[in-house]
Structure formats: structure tokens, C-alpha cells
């Protein structure tokens, strides 16, 4: 059984067709990479999946239930977590409290005491343990990204939506984060990740979905996607990204050749 099925979802903002007829199935335990040029509708798809937006058409089936029209908190209770492209730390709360919010109100519905324990565990895992008592607003970008990650992990989600967790990180941080993602997957959590850092997303994804102007243009394993002319063409519309894409493909093939 699929943990998530998106069936023919369309979403419109005024005159803008943000998503049209997107369909994708995600089996449990998989990492799905979601890529596409800026404005392709990736984050919108996340927002539709976790109930922030209601699609005009289509269904989102999470754990066998159609969740269209359900509020985000309902999905959180059902075991869905996400991070945000632009980090949203709860600035005036401590790092630990931030993570406790995730643990307390997510699918586990833990008491404060348990949540605190889980929070410390998770902070250890994302290497923020020593900053637990700091205010979240005082962290740097990389730390904030890991905090977002910790917060959504603390909820013990079945499905985790990661929105550009690598953006803005330096290479060491990226490597760390990739390790964390891999580690999460071993805990039987399904992941969908939006990413622009190609080599990283290619490395960890089982399947990839490419969106362009709200339409799914390709679906397959990372190597299938890498060789799909439609994808390259889509990125060519956005020259800088196309360059990046090609450069990374080159790097990747170099790496595999070794």
C-alpha cells in the first residue's frame, strides 16, 4: 500500500495555474526527490499535501484516507511533518522548546516530560544538543535548518516533507545534512524532498518527480531523470539552473566513473 497518493491535483491562484493534474504515488520507506525550476509549483504541492491549500481538483490520499480539505494540524496528527523553505523557527522559544512543540503536538501527542526527552534525543541526532537552551532566534542559518529538521523529526512522522533543507548551507553542512536524511530513512520514515542541490538529491532519492509550470514532466529513478531530455529542456528555460544541472551531472558522472 502506498503511504501517499496524489491523484490529479490541480491548484489555481487567480489566473496562475500553479499545479495541473499532478499524480504521484509514494510507497512507504522511499525517498522521493521533487525537482523543477523556480516557480514550478513544488512548494505549492507540499502545501496541498499538508492541507495549507485546498486543491480545486484531485485527491490526496494519505495512509489510505482522502485528506483534501483537512486542516494542517489534522495531517500533523496523522503523522505528516514538514520543514519550510524559509526557516520558521519559533524565535523567542528555546531550541529545546521548539523541538518539544513538534513532539507534543505531532502524531505521538506526547506529554511535556516525554517530549523533552525526545527533544534532547533528536537534538543530539541533528547535533544541536549543546544549544538546547539557547533562543531559537539566535541560531545561524545552518543551525536553524537543522532545528527545523529536528522539530519535524520529533513528531515521529510517517511522512516527512523536506523543503530545500540544503539551500544556503556550506558543503560541510550539506554533507552533514545528507547523512541525517539518510539516517532518517533507516528509521522507516518516508521522505519527499524538494531540492536544488542536484548532486545531493540525486544521491539520496529512490525516485524523482520533475515539475515544470505546475505540470509533472518526468518521473523515474535519478539516472533516468538525469538523462531525460525534457528535464534538461525545462531547466534550459532557466539558464543558470541549466548550467548548474549540467555541471552537477558532469560531476556525478565523474564520481560514478571513479
Partner 1 sequence: MTTQGTDAKPQNELLNTLLDNFKIWTKKLSHPGLWITIVGVFILGYLPIADQSPEAAFANATARESTFTILMSIVLVSSLNILLGYTGYVSFGHIVFYGLGGYVGLYTIIEHQWPLWKAMAAGGAAAGVLALVLGSAILRLRGAYFALATIGINEAMRAFVSNYDPFGGAVGLSIHFRVYRETYGSYQDAFLVMYKAMLGLAIAAVVLSYLVKSSKFGLGLMAIREDEDASDIMGVIPYRSKIIAYMLSAILPGMVGVVFFFKASTIEPAAAFKLHTSIEWLVMIMLGGFGTIMGPVLGAYGYQNLRTILLTSEFFKNIQLAVAGLMLLGIILFIPAGLIGWLRRHISFTRRVLT
Nearer residue to partner 1 within complex by CB, 97 or 212: 97
Distance CA 75, CA 191 (A): 15
- Least separation in angstroms between CB 82 and partner 1: 6
DSSP secondary structure string for all residues of 48-86: HHTTSS--SEEEEEETTEE-TT--HHHHHHHTEEE--SS
Q: Pattern 162-201, binding to partner 1, x per CB under 8 A?
A: ----------------------------------------
168 membership: H or E segment, kind and range = none
Q: Pattern 89-108, binding to partner 1, x per CB under 8 A?
A: xxxxx---x--xxx-xxxx-
The residue among 216, 203, 192 whose CA lies nearest residue 3 is 192
- Least separation in angstroms between CB 87 and partner 1: 10
Q: Pattern 45-84, binding to partner 1, x per CB under 8 A?
A: -----x-x------------------xxx--xx---xx-x
**Other CB atoms within 10 Å distance of the CB of residue 153:** 28
**Other CB atoms within 10 Å distance of the CB of residue 52:** 14
Answer yes or no whether residue 114 interacts with partner 1 by CB under 8 A: yes
- Least separation in angstroms between CB 189 and partner 1: 16
Distance CA 226, CA 249 (A): 7
Nearer residue to partner 1 within complex by CB, 34 or 202: 34
Answer yes or no whether residue 121 interacts with partner 1 by CB under 8 A: no
Amino acid at each position: 500500500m502506498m503511504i501517499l497518493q496524489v491523484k490529479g491535483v490541480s491548484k489555481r491562484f487567480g489566473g496562475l495555474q500553479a499545479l495541473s493534474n499532478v499524480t504521484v504515488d509514494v510507497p512507504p520507506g522511499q525517498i522521493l526527490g521533487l525537482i523543477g525550476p523556480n516557480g514550478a509549483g513544488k512548494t505549492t504541492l507540499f502545501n496541498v499535501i499538508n492541507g495549507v491549500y485546498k486543491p480545486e481538483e484531485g485527491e490526496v490520499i494519505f495512509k489510505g484516507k482522502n485528506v483534501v480539505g483537512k486542516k494542517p494540524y489534522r495531517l500533523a496528527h496523522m503523522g505528516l511533518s514538514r520543514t519550510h523553505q524559509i526557516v520558521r523557527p519559533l524565535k523567542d522559544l528555546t531550541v529545546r522548546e521548539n523541538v518539544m512543540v513538534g513532539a507534543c503536538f505531532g502524531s505521538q501527542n506526547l506529554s511535556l516530560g516525554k517530549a523533552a526527552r525526545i527533544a534532547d534525543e533528536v537534538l543530539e541526532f541533528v547535533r544541536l544538543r549543546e544549544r538546547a537552551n539557547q533562543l531559537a532566534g539566535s541560531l545561524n542559518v545552518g543551525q536553524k535548518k537543522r532545528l527545523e529538521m529536528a522539530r519535524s523529526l520529533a513528531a515521529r512522522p510517517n511522512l516527512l516533507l523536506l523543503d530545500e533543507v540544503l539551500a544556503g548551507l556550506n558543503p560541510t553542512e550539506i554533507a552533514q545534512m545528507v547523512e541525517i536524511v539518510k539516517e532518517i530513512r533507516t528509521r522507516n520514515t518516508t521522505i519527499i524532498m524538494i531540492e536544488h542541490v542536484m548532486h545531493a538529491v540525486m544521491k539520496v532519492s529512490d525516485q524523482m518527480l520533475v515539475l515544470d509550470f505546475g505540470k509533472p514532466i518526468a518521473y523515474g529513478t535519478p539516472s533516468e531523470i538525469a538523462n531525460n531530455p525534457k528535464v534538461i529542456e525545462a531547466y534550459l528555460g532557466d539558464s543558470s539552473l541549466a548550467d548548474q544541472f549540467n555541471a552537477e551531472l558532469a560531476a556525478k558522472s565523474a564520481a560514478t566513473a571513479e
